């Protein structure tokens, strides 16, 4: 398994072609007590660090923070799934082993059971600790080595994504290799504001799935509405249900994405809010308390100052929430979370006909006027699909693969727009590329935004197929499903290069960079996790385009037209000029 210097020569080749462009000419560093130091092109910090080295260190800081978020989720989910299903649970779907191209490429192993995933998470955690050590004062001092380590952090992030989703797919039997997942309609107009409702926000699907199963087992599914925001909602909708409903999304209604949190809290849709971790507003408890909505925090990384009630009886916890002696509670036991959220929701609804301490007026309800028709996340791309598209992609018959992934932090349109138009250009871009026979994929909060219906009541998912083929539009799933797009690029390279995947990172990445036309678009970048995922894709040779707000990350990787574009023709061993293409590796 590669350590932080194993792929250093490959990183330096990339950085020679794509020199970092930093958006600051000066900065202030306060990372140690020598500071604060004003650093610019002429002045160094007291520790001796120059401007480019300082800015590249901040790039590493952003990437390793994002990678740690996904690594922590991978560690948590694999631990909880092992506790629930056992360490020897097979990583299979429909009797076939799940495909793990990133794990094979980076770690050189083929995981067969859940406990094998622990070998991968242990490796990730060890490398992240080393990268955090690099951020110490008096460690690394060269900008290229900082950037190499930033790329390493991104690779670890990508690895975590695959661990998370493949573990979920194998245990909960989420769809995978399946282009024909159903389309579900989520309409705010059918929301019943007088019915008990639970709102789940976060990223750990196990918490939401436990609530879904508790409602089913206790015949409460028709009595309590279950809503989800962000990636938890997307993954909960992938859980197979014996009695799916086209209006309920397999038991959960996708209420919106990350940026909709305050709108839905203030609307009064839910009378209990269950929080996990990541992309959760830090002031949710404040706003929920104003509405009289109890909050249940469930993750040690986001405790919000709430008392730990894990060891208390369900009845006592519910009573304290109903009486508002507690604005919220912290519970780590998944079954108790489900019990408390369901019982509290039922009792609060019976106690009051309106949500919270104030009636919900029409303006608050209209703010959540949403209508989605979304294809449920299909998971990985099948080997048959890869073999069908690999030659036409490399030979240019299919113009390329585009992935619309990530956060919903779009730049507003500069001009006034007609009522009902969003103006971020997302749908227009996706539709134009599909019409030009690109293979288009989606994932994360962006996938939800691409599901909004037009004036004719149709969404882009309805107008297209879910196949991974020319003109297809495949929703891969939540944020962690970005790993499937990277995995598809790896498998295309393996098919066309006739080289093994296992432990063969540099050769596969080199082929992807030069021959496989795949680009990721993160149009609404927001979190450190998005930056880490994008940076990992860059190391694999995949360009990333951010929306305008990507400039706030402070660093892009833009092509240097003058040098670094010589490649070796394997047929005659001669050097040939191959650039400048792709023109940039990370840009806005």
Q: How many residues does the chain have?
A: 588
Q: Which two tokens stand for residue 165?
A: 């989703």
Count other Cβ atoms within 10 Å, centred on residue 300: 12
What are the CB-based long-range contacts (under 8 Å, 24+) for 491-496? 491/99, 491/101, 491/381, 491/383, 491/386, 491/390, 492/386, 492/389, 492/390, 492/393, 492/394, 492/516, 494/101, 495/386, 495/387, 495/390, 496/390, 496/391, 496/394
Which residue bears the tokens 């590669």? 2
Determine the Cα angle at 485 with ends 62 and 115, to 5°: 80
Q: What is the reported pLDDT for 243? A: 54
Residues 543, 78: contact at Cβ < 8 Å? no
Q: What is the reported pLDDT for 458? A: 85
Residues 207, 275: contact at Cβ < 8 Å? no
Alpha-carbon span 52 to 25, nearest angstrom: 9
**What torsion do the CA atoms of 215, 216, 217, 219 make, to the nearest 10 degrees?**
80
Q: Which two tokens stand for residue 363?
A: 């303006």
Q: What is the reported pLDDT for 383? A: 94
Residues with pLDDT less than 70, the chain? 188-190, 242-250, 350-369, 412-423
Alpha-carbon span 187 to 576, nearest angstrom: 56
Give the pTM. 0.94
Ramachandran area for residue 549 (φ above 0: left; ψ -120 to 50: alpha; else beta): alpha
Alpha-carbon span 134 to 466, nearest angstrom: 43
Ramachandran area for residue 356 (φ above 0: left; ψ -120 to 50: alpha; else beta): left
Alpha-carbon span 346 to 350, nearest angstrom: 6
Alpha-carbon span 263 to 93, nearest angstrom: 38
Question: What sign for the dihedral angle of Cα 345, 347, 350, 351?
Answer: negative
Residues 161, 379: contact at Cβ < 8 Å? no
Domains of the chain, each with CATH number or no CATH: 8-172 (1.10.8.190), 183-366 (3.40.50.2030), 376-587 (3.40.50.2030)
Q: What is the reported pLDDT for 514? A: 92
Count other Cβ atoms within 10 Å, centred on residue 435: 10
Q: What is the reported pLDDT for 21? A: 95
Query: Which of 287, 333, 280 is closest to 308 using CA atoms?
Result: 333
Burial classification of residue 558, based on how many CB atoms lie within 10 Å of its CB (0-12 exposed, 13-18 middle, 19 or more buried): middle
SS (H, E, C) 417-466: CCCCCCCCCHHHHHHHHHHCCCEEEEECHHHHHCCECCCCCCCHHHHCCC
């Amino acid at each position: 398994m590669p350590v932080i210097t194993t792929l250093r020569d490959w990183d330096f080749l990339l950085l020679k072609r794509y020199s970092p462009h930093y958006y600051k000419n000066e900065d202030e560093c306060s990372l140690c007590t020598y500071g604060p130091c004003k650093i610019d092109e002429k002045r160094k910090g007291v520790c001796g660090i120059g401007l480019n080295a300082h800015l590249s260190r901040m790039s590493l800081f952003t990437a390793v923070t994002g990678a740690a978020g996904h690594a922590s989720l991978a560690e948590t989910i694999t631990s909880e799934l092992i506790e629930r299903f056992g360490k020897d649970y097979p990583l299979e779907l429909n009797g076939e082993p799940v495909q793990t191209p990133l794990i094979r490429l980076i770690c050189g192993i083929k995981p067969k059971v859940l406990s094998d995933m622990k070998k991968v998470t242990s490796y990730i955690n060890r490398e992240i600790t080393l990268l955090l050590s690099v951020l110490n004062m008096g460690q690394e001092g060269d900008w290229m080595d900082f950037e190499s380590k930033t790329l390493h952090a991104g690779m670890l992030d990508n690895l975590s994504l695959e661990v998370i989703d493949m573990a979920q797919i194998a245990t909960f039997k989420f769809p995978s290799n399946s282009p024909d997942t159903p389309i579900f309609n989520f309409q705010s107009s059918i929301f019943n504001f007088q019915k008990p409702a639970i709102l789940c926000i976060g990223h750990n699907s196990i918490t939401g799935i436990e609530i879904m199963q508790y409602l089913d087992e206790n015949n409460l599914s028709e009595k309590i509405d279950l809503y989800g925001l962000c990636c938890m909602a997307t993954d909960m909708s992938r859980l197979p249900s014996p009695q799916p409903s086209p209006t309920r999304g397999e038991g959960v209604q996708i209420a919106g994405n990350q940026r909709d949190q305050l709108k839905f809290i203030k609307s009064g849709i839910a009378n209990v809010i269950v929080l996990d971790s990541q992309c959760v507003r830090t002031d949710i408890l404040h706003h929920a308390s104003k509405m009289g909505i109890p909050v249940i925090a469930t993750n040690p990384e986001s405790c919000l100052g709430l008392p730990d009630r894990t060891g208390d009886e369900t009845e006592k916890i519910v009573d304290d929430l109903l009486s508002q002696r507690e604005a919220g509670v912290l519970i780590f036991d998944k079954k108790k979370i489900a019990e408390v959220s369901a019982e509290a929701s039922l009792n609060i609804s019976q106690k009051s006909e309106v949500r919270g301490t104030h009636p919900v007026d029409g303006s608050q309800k209209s703010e959540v006027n949403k209508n989605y028709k979304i294809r449920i996340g299909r998971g990985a791309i099948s080997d048959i699909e890869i073999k069908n598209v690999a030659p036409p992609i490399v030979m240019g018959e299919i113009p390329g693969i585009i992935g619309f992934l990530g956060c919903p932090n779009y730049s507003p349109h500069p001009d006034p727009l007609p009522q009902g138009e969003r103006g971020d250009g997302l749908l227009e871009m996706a539709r134009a590329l599909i019409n030009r026979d690109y293979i288009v994929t989606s994932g994360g909060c962006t996938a939800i935004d691409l599901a909004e219906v037009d004036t004719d009541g149709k969404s882009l998912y309805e107008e297209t197929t879910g196949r991974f083929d020319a003109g297809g539009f495949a929703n891969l799933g939540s944020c962690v499903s970005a790993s499937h797009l990277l995995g598809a690029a790896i498998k295309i390279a393996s098919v066309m290069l006739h080289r093994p995947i296992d432990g063969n990172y540099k050769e596969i990445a080199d082929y992807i960079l030069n021959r496989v036309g795949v680009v990721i678009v993160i149009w609404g970048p927001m979190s450190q996790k998005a930056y880490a995922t994008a940076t990992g894709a860059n190391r694999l040779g995949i360009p990333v385009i951010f929306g305008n707000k990507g400039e706030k990350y402070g660093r892009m990787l833009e092509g240097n037209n003058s040098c670094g574009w010589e490649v070796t023709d394997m047929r005659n061993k001669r050097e040939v000029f191959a650039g400048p293409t792709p023109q940039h590796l990370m840009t806005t």
